[in-house]
Structure 1
């Protein structure tokens, strides 16, 4: 099988793995929301923040450098493997020792056992991580997907069983450790055909990999603060209970889009790459991708906006009512975010990834003071609004960069956007009428609302925007 065929086949498997993990994440949260409190979710969110922060230092971009350099030297790989294990152990010790300071900041004694238990992640993950990089380098995406799916399924099952058994917030941490243990074991078993580490350790052999990783480290730190400043402030200013409500809202409204949209862009990237020397063709393709993404995402987000008061109690049970208004705010965050995603593909196509760094830096400079100000005066809703404003600013700057890369596109974009927006407004109106006349409680009403909304949007789209043949043409162009 050629590399191109392997890549196309790999795209299929990565899509399957991503959709599977997203669905299991949604189902797991829906079940656990009935068993755990908002404070439990808040505690786990803080531990995940700590892990995500130290994860930036641990990898140092070795995945990118190994794939970019097509590294196969056993001495170099052995050095990187041992270096990963040493860094993982060091991070474990640092987290374990620094847990009192984390507890002091968040003023939550329960964090001690959560953070200390979560720190064992770094003693597990690096035994298999380099094997994962090598599997990706060799385009063995079926193996990568199998590892991801197996870990997700087993880990989710363990998490739910432990939650039913009364382990509360620890069920999520233990479930995550089980997920990573399964993945690590499978990475080793499937990856040892490609590499068996030897007793080699020489930092001079990996200087290029380390230099490559420094840029990834800086970009990762900036991205972490930009993406998580709101959660950091909520946990410290408002407590773990408010962070729990906030986390559930983000996972419902933003998480699926953040996971699924990159699949579309992954398929579209080879098409754009062939057009990099023609701004006009590149702009035309960018607009088609943007139109396709808005067509797919907007009705889902609009539907969530109008059905949030039905969906949240139905899926998460009583006690999560505060999440409903947050979900309605994050619907707009999701809409702005999905319109921003295609720039990443466009910037790499044009050889301008540095523009993404400056975009994140500008967004961060604006976001942090807004989060602090709005959070101080308007609590968790204020922080959500600050996140929304920062995302909107990011979108404006995003479009300015697109204009710089391919020229004026805004007129065509607004004309393309008008119909799906209008269709969404009509759809929301139809569902609102149903809720007013019939009601919105219970699973029967939720199903009816989905059917009314979906039928309205589908009929309008087929009648006034896309014919069935055009829909099939989209599918063929992106296949």
Structure 2
């Protein structure tokens, strides 16, 4: 089976699994939002800001070396597994030791207990890193899709049950722990490899050399996302933190649906092409064209329909988050495009510049957010977005260097779909302005249909090459054995 067909089939499975997972997760999230309220989610966001950093750098750091162009060996697999195990236990201990100080920083004693309870997921996630990397490398995405769906269902059942029983914020903790536990069981059941103690200093050095750069990159990425929650929670309180949290959660889910299938499949596909002696830049350009075709209209539509969407999904009490959500949709566009581009750099083993740029975003973002605090939550959200947009040209330049492509050419790929999405958003805004006083459900449905109609018409006129490219990948997926029917 060709790499292109494997890529198309993998994207199909990950898309189907991701959409089903997030649809279920979104329903669960909406139920929990109605049961628990704004302040509860604010407390969770304040505690999870530190735990999520640890989870993320364990999940997608050292094990990424298994997805590069290099060949695998038992010693390399063992080295990755045991280094991650030791690292995750150390992170758990650090979180436990720091929980009291973090609670005092917030001025909320219960934060310490939440951090300790949530941090057990860090070593749990470390246990799945190697089997998941093996499944991705071999492009067995059907297993990964089913695993994700099973985890979110199990966690959702427990979370809702605990919320109804009056456990409050602890229902969100229970939901997360059960979800990760199910993921562990299904990942190990799908691979035949088991860890051993056959190690070598050479492989450990190689893994550490790559791994510490990946850890730096992942830590910076998640720190950049969590900086607003920390500053907002400390300076503006749990209610404002909750409003920002729900806006970010909507954007996170939307970006997950678009980015994760492409990102999860593209990285091993790039590595496979390189190992076979090919040049993956052509595949990179095709994936970028498809990404822009989907990302820009999706988030532009969400930006102008933010208020009715929040009210319909979560209730009237979440309406004040609408301005923040509209701003964060632009970050969603950036995030989807940048994550797909990043996979090319990682498949090539080029991590250093990515990590440096990510930490620059953290520093610049913290400074801009801190300066914007006196002006309120909307200003803080704008400052957060600005830090990423200011440094974005440097990311294009780095990608162009690695792929031997012109950075300007890469950037210009996104101009046409961005302009068309902006025109679409303008049309939807004019429509919703005529619907004042109408039910929010009507505004959301008519706005969505109008947006789809406008952008489809514009794409047929100006983006036929991308529509044809999307159809070709779709046909490859349907024709591939093991792909979706």
Query: Closer, same or farther in 2 for the Cα pair 1:71/1:42, shift >3 Å?
Result: farther
The 10-residue stretch of structure 1 (345-354 or 295-304) with the greater mean CA deviation from structure 2: 345-354
Contact 1:16 1:145 in 2 (8 A): yes
CA distance in 1, matches of 2:411, 2:210: 39
1:336 corresponds to which of 334, 341, 355: 334
CA distance in 2, matches of 1:66, 1:144: 16
- Aligned residue pairs total 468
The SS at the match of 1:100 is helix
CA distance in 2, matches of 1:305, 1:293: 18
Query: Closer, same or farther in 2 for the Cα pair 1:138/1:109, shift >3 Å?
Result: same
1:32 paired residue number: 32
1:225 paired residue number: 223
Query: Closer, same or farther in 2 for the Cα pair 1:218/1:439, shift >3 Å?
Result: same
Q: TM-score, normalised by structure 2?
A: 0.82
Q: TM-score, normalised by structure 1?
A: 0.83
2:171 paired residue number: 171
Contact 1:13 1:145 in 2 (8 A): yes
Contact 2:232 2:241 in 1 (8 A): yes
CA distance in 2, matches of 1:218, 1:155: 30
Contact 2:58 2:125 in 1 (8 A): no
Deviation, 1:368, is 1.9
Query: Closer, same or farther in 2 for the Cα pair 1:85/1:233, shift >3 Å?
Result: same
2:378 paired residue number: 381
1:194 paired residue number: 193
1:292 corresponds to which of 279, 290, 293: 290
2:447 paired residue number: 449
Contact 1:310 1:440 in 2 (8 A): no
1:476 paired residue number: 472
1:392 paired residue number: 389
2:479 paired residue number: none
Deviation, 1:316, is 0.7
CA deviation string 1:291-337 (max 9, x = no partner) = 43333222222221222221111111121122011011112222333
The SS at the match of 1:108 is coil
Deviation, 1:87, is 4.5
- 1:270-285 correspondence runs (5 A): 270=269, 282=281
Deviation, 1:178, is 0.6
Deviation, 1:134, is 4.1
Query: Closer, same or farther in 2 for the Cα pair 1:43/1:350, shift >3 Å?
Result: same
Contact 2:7 2:265 in 1 (8 A): no
Q: Indicate whether 1:413 and 2:412 are aligned.
A: yes
1:151 paired residue number: 151
CA distance in 2, matches of 1:430, 1:210: 51
Contact 1:371 1:383 in 2 (8 A): yes
Query: Closer, same or farther in 2 for the Cα pair 1:449/1:175, shift >3 Å?
Result: same
Query: Closer, same or farther in 2 for the Cα pair 1:430/1:83, shift >3 Å?
Result: closer
The 10-residue stretch of structure 1 (318-327 or 179-188) with the greater mean CA deviation from structure 2: 179-188
CA deviation string 1:152-183 (max 9, x = no partner) = 22112222222222222111110110111112
Q: Return 5+ residue gaps in structure 2 as ranges.
A: 477-485
CA distance in 1, matches of 2:428, 2:5: 45
Query: Closer, same or farther in 2 for the Cα pair 1:476/1:442, shift >3 Å?
Result: same
The SS at the match of 1:174 is helix
| Pairwise CA RMSD | 3.8
Query: Closer, same or farther in 2 for the Cα pair 1:398/1:278, shift >3 Å?
Result: farther
Query: Closer, same or farther in 2 for the Cα pair 1:215/1:442, shift >3 Å?
Result: closer
Contact 1:60 1:213 in 2 (8 A): no
Deviation, 1:42, is 1.8
Q: Indicate whether 1:234 and 2:236 are aligned.
A: no
Q: Indicate whether 1:215 and 2:249 are aligned.
A: no
Q: Return 5+ residue gaps in structure 1 as ranges.
A: none
CA deviation string 1:172-212 (max 9, x = no partner) = 11011011111222334334x332x55x4878486233343
The 10-residue stretch of structure 1 (246-255 or 85-94) with the greater mean CA deviation from structure 2: 85-94
2:480 paired residue number: none
CA deviation string 1:402-427 (max 9, x = no partner) = 5665236369928x734652453355
2:308 paired residue number: 310
Q: Indicate whether 1:121 and 2:121 are aligned.
A: yes
CA distance in 1, matches of 2:42, 2:51: 14
CA distance in 2, matches of 1:13, 1:323: 33
CA distance in 2, matches of 1:60, 1:267: 14
CA distance in 2, matches of 1:461, 1:364: 36
Compare CA radii of gyration and give the structure with the larger one. Answer: 1
Which has the bigger relative contact order, CA under 8 A and spacing at least 6? Answer: 2
Query: Closer, same or farther in 2 for the Cα pair 1:250/1:265, shift >3 Å?
Result: same
Contact 1:54 1:91 in 2 (8 A): yes
CA distance in 1, matches of 2:49, 2:362: 17
The SS at the match of 2:108 is coil
CA distance in 2, matches of 1:59, 1:454: 36
